[in-house]
Amino acid sequence: MKVLAATRLGAIGILVSTTALAEGHLNEMSPTDLLPLAQAEGTVTVYSFTSRIGKVEAAFEAAYPGIDLQGFDISSTEQIARLKAEAQAGVTNADVIYISDTPVVLTELLETGIIAPYLPPRVADRVASEFQAPLLAQRLSTKVLMYNEESYPDGAPVDSLWDLTREEWAGKVVMVDPLQRGDYLDLMTEIVLRSDEMAAAYEAEFGAAIELGDAANAGERFIMDLFANDLILVGSTDDVNAAVGALGQEAAPLGFTSYSDRRDNEDEGWALQVANDVAPAPGIVFPAVLALAAKPNNPAAARLVVDFLMGDESETGGPGLAPFYVAGDYVTRSDIAPHPDAVPLDEFTAWRIAPAKTATIRAEIGDLILTLQ
């Protein structure tokens, strides 16, 4: 009995260590070395928070024949719920996780060991260290104030976020309910974290120091005033885009949405443009990160996908990055030229969120918003 058990333990030990070795080894491999292993695996599953995974799928399968990429478009919040449930069931469905909502991802997925970081060695020296850890950021995405450039041909009709609390914008500011989409809760949280800037902007706008009343700080005061000014909440960013961007409006509303949705202006009949000059900032910039499942079913192919999504050696990153090389998305690779049509990142005034800091008061801000509805 004992001998058997010992043998078994030994066997398990050897198995575990070989797996560990193999995994460690895989992390160092170049895409050329990964390819035959990935082709032997034959398939790879990606959970993606953006529908652009459809384009990635076609491009990846063209670049690496023999590997079937199954891309699933699942919102960040849902991915988190799904990955947690799958981990509990001891099932691994996804090999690659492409996700935003980093404040929650870090605490609930990374720290709990459900997902693992991976940095493709090929691009390691061309991604700033702030984007390498704790998870690899592929690009920066946004939730910022946008206006309708057809309706307001002379530029944004407001010059401060505090304008949105004025009577003339009552019922004319649109955003997604922050209690239903994490990105928007992050935006509200950042406004509170930047209370000093909000207070200064208040004084610049109204010529008097802010009176907090029952609010704890200027950020909270702004959120309370914004909600009191008949803020309109909708269910998805596309609803915001349609409300703000639709052509043929005389006095279109303003709204918080993704800068990169401007890419759909032509297809959808929108006239979205970012209000980059509002004080103190038009909104937030946050990372879209790439990670592996803790124990991916297709470890080589999974790494190959991450490598592919970081772009190839051409000037704009080639087919892997093409869906993300659009105005309003900021690719993290330092050697890729910024998109010519977008406000350059260093001139883009939106706040860069610090996920760990956001996580500390996020729930509290959620509660505040709850009392305002």
Partner 1 sequence: MADAAISGPGRRVFFRQGTLLKATVLLLLALLIVLPLLRTVLFTLQPDTVKAWPDVLTGRLSTNLFYKPLGNTLTIGVVVAVGCVLLGGFLAWLVVMTNVPFRKTIGVMATLPFMIPSFAAALAWGSLFRNDRVGGQVGWLQGMGLDIPDWLAWGMVPTLIVLILHYFSLAFTVIAAALATVNSDMVEAAQIAGAKGRRILIGIVLPVTTPALVAAASLCFAGAVSNFATPALLGLPVRMQTLSTRLFGMIEVGQVGRGYVIGILLVLISGAFLWAGNRIVSGRRSYATITGKGGRAKRFDLRGARWPLFAVAMTFLLVSTVVPAVVLTASSLAPSSASLFSNWTLHYWLGESDPSFAQGIPGIVYNEDIVRAVTVTLCLGLAVAVTGMIVGLLASYTTARYREGWASAAITQISFLPLLVPGIAFGAAYIAYLGAPIGPFPALYGTFALLVIAATGYLLPFSVQTGRAVIQQVSGELEESARITGAGFVRRLGAITVPLAIRGLTAGGILIFVKIVRDLSLVVLLFTPTMPVLSVLAYRYASEGFGQFANAITVVILFVSVAATLLANRLQRKSQPWLQN
Which residues within the stretch 220-239 sit at the binding site for partner 1 (CB under 8 A)?
A: 232-236, 238-239
Residue 321 near residue 310 (C-beta atoms within 8 A): yes
* Min dist. Cβ of residue 268 to partner 1 (A): 6
Q: In angstroms, what is the minimal distance from the CB of 29 to partner 1?
A: 26
Residue 14 interacting with partner 1 (CB under 8 A): no
Query: What are the Cα distances from residue 53, in Å, to 46, 210, 241, 267, 336?
Result: 8, 45, 21, 19, 20
Q: How far is the CB of 47 from partner 1 (least distance, A)?
A: 8
Q: How far is the CB of 22 from partner 1 (least distance, A)?
A: 25
Report helix, strand and coil shares of the chain as percent, to nearest 5. Answer: 50, 20, 35
Taking CB under 8 A as the rule, does residue 42 contact partner 1?
no
Task: Name which of 65 and 90 has its Cβ closer to partner 1.
Answer: 90
Query: Residue 345 interacts with partner 1 (CB under 8 A)?
Result: no
Closest CA to 189 of 337, 8, 356, 75: 356
Of 217-225, 279-287, 310-318, 361-369, the window that binds partner 1 (rule: CB under 8 A) is: 361-369
CA gap 75, 183 in Å, rounded: 11
HSE (side-chain half, CA atoms, 13 Å) at 312: 12
The tally of CA atoms less than 13 A away on the side-chain side of residue 28 is: 5
What DSSP string runs through 98-111? EE--HHHIIIIIIT
Buried b (16+ CB within 10 A) or exposed e, 5-15: eeeeeeeeeee
Contact mark string toward partner 1, 262..301, x via CB under 8 A: --x--xxx--------------------------------
**Residues in contact with partner 1, shown as a per-residue x/- string from 88 to 127 under the rule CB under 8 A:** xxxx-xx---------x---x-------------------
189 binds partner 1 (CB under 8 A): no
Which of 86, 150, 159, 197 binds partner 1 (CB under 8 A)? It is: 86
What 3-state class would DSSP assign to 47? Answer: strand
One-letter-per-residue 3-state SS of 176-200:
ECCCCCHHHHHHHHHHHHCHHHHHH
73, containing H or E segment: strand 68-73
Among 134, 157, 253, 318, binds partner 1 (CB under 8 A): 253
Indicate which single residue of 13, 42, 155, 171 sits in contact with partner 1 (rule: CB under 8 A). 171
Shortest gap between Cβ of 145 and partner 1 (angstroms)?
14
Written as six digits, the tokens of 154 are 């002379």
Q: Least Å distance between CB 149 and partner 1?
A: 14
Count of H helices and E strands in the chain?
A: 13, 12
- Which CB sits closer to partner 1, 183 or 205? 183
Q: How near is the Cβ of 333 to partner 1 at its closest, in Å?
A: 22
Q: Is 33 in the site for partner 1 (CB under 8 A)?
A: no
Q: Which is nearer to partner 1, 39 or 249 (CB)?
A: 249
- Choose one: 197-205, 250-258, 292-300, 332-340; the region binding partner 1 (CB under 8 A): 250-258
